[in-house]
Structure 1
């Protein structure tokens, strides 16, 4: 009979571990799906979490736009709260709507990008190839997410509070927020903060 102490050994997928690893267990039991082609558009190195979350939900078309509320049985007016010229849907809000299109135009002009697309599916295809500069491309993703977040916020402001801002004011707010993000990156010692700040400070 051995007098040595027993030593527990965790085995996950045939690989022994000297200590328990919750990460290894989670990766072993979860359903692993392929990375979505749009994932780099949402989760990138300069993202603002609340912007990324809102963009992600809109990519999945999970936010309660008026067209979706209607399918849930709500008896509501479907007119876009931003322009009043068409029914509100994700694709209309970003950026077929005249109001939101002006915000998108101001953001892309700030980055010196001409002729941006205004249709949702075309934008998703355009974003990865819009610029040869990796910093300008990253700034564009910031601007795209910022526009989605602030336009949805503006829509909700009109829906719940009856208040409204102009496209210029919203674009200015987006750019100010992104400047703050870049300055925060600089304070953390992240070199890309300098290049991104140059994109937004011009």
Structure 2
């Protein structure tokens, strides 16, 4: 017979105390520090426990985006280079055809598919003109970087995210 069988509530409380002890130790406090404290700050404990992750540059395009959640999730995949484009599938031995299904002029890579492809670059150029932006269409990395650094309007970012999503949908319609 275990202690949990005899004192189920006390055993659960004991586990919580030991877990709290580990958490307090992870924050850099000792038991003596806690006993000698006259006041305790949850904010300071949280700051001690929080891990500092480097902020990614493209977070502004994903967080607080007015576009559809599907669009922003898709942009996250693009920014992480995690889409299953034909060049990635070919590296894994899943396909032999690496040509872009939108233009058949180059290999399908993330860089090519979203802004360098003739089909997507024409679409993006029209959308830029609609946003009153007069500049040349650049590659995927440069477009994301430009959006991060220069775009102040959420409408531009929403248009960018929608365009990237729609390009992927058009690509899938042609492939499947």
| Residue 36 of structure 1: aligned partner | 56
Q: TM-score, normalised by structure 2?
A: 0.70
Query: Which of 148, 166, 171 is the matching residue for 1:128?
Result: 148
Please give the alpha-carbon distance, in whole angstroms, between the structure 1 residues aligned to 2:65 and 2:174.
32
Assess if the C-alpha contact under 8 Å between 1:108 and 1:114 holds in 2: yes
Query: By percentage of residues, which structure has more helix?
Result: 2
> CA, structure 1 residues 45+82, in 2 after alignment: closer, same or farther (shift >3 Å)?
closer
> CA, structure 1 residues 145+45, in 2 after alignment: closer, same or farther (shift >3 Å)?
closer
Assess if the C-alpha contact under 8 Å between 1:79 and 1:87 holds in 2: yes
Please give the alpha-carbon distance, in whole angstroms, between the structure 2 residues aligned to 1:113 and 1:77.
36
Please give the alpha-carbon distance, in whole angstroms, between the structure 2 residues aligned to 1:96 and 1:159.
19
Please give the alpha-carbon distance, in whole angstroms, between the structure 1 residues aligned to 2:82 and 2:149.
26
| Residue 65 of structure 1: aligned partner | 85
Query: Which of 155, 180, 184 is the matching residue for 2:171?
Result: 155
Q: Which has the higher contact order (CA 8 A, sep 6+)?
A: 2
| Residue 55 of structure 1: aligned partner | 75
- Give ranges in structure 2 of 5+ residues lacking alignment: 1-12, 30-39
Q: TM-score, normalised by structure 1?
A: 0.62
Comparing 73-82 and 148-157, the one that deviates more = 73-82
| Residue 7 of structure 2: aligned partner | none
Greater than 4 Å deviation, 4+ residue runs: 7-12, 14-17
SS at match of 2:158: helix
Tell me how far 1:63 sits from its aligned partner.
0.8
- Give ranges in structure 1 of 5+ residues lacking alignment: 1-6, 18-23, 161-202
> CA, structure 1 residues 116+40, in 2 after alignment: closer, same or farther (shift >3 Å)?
farther
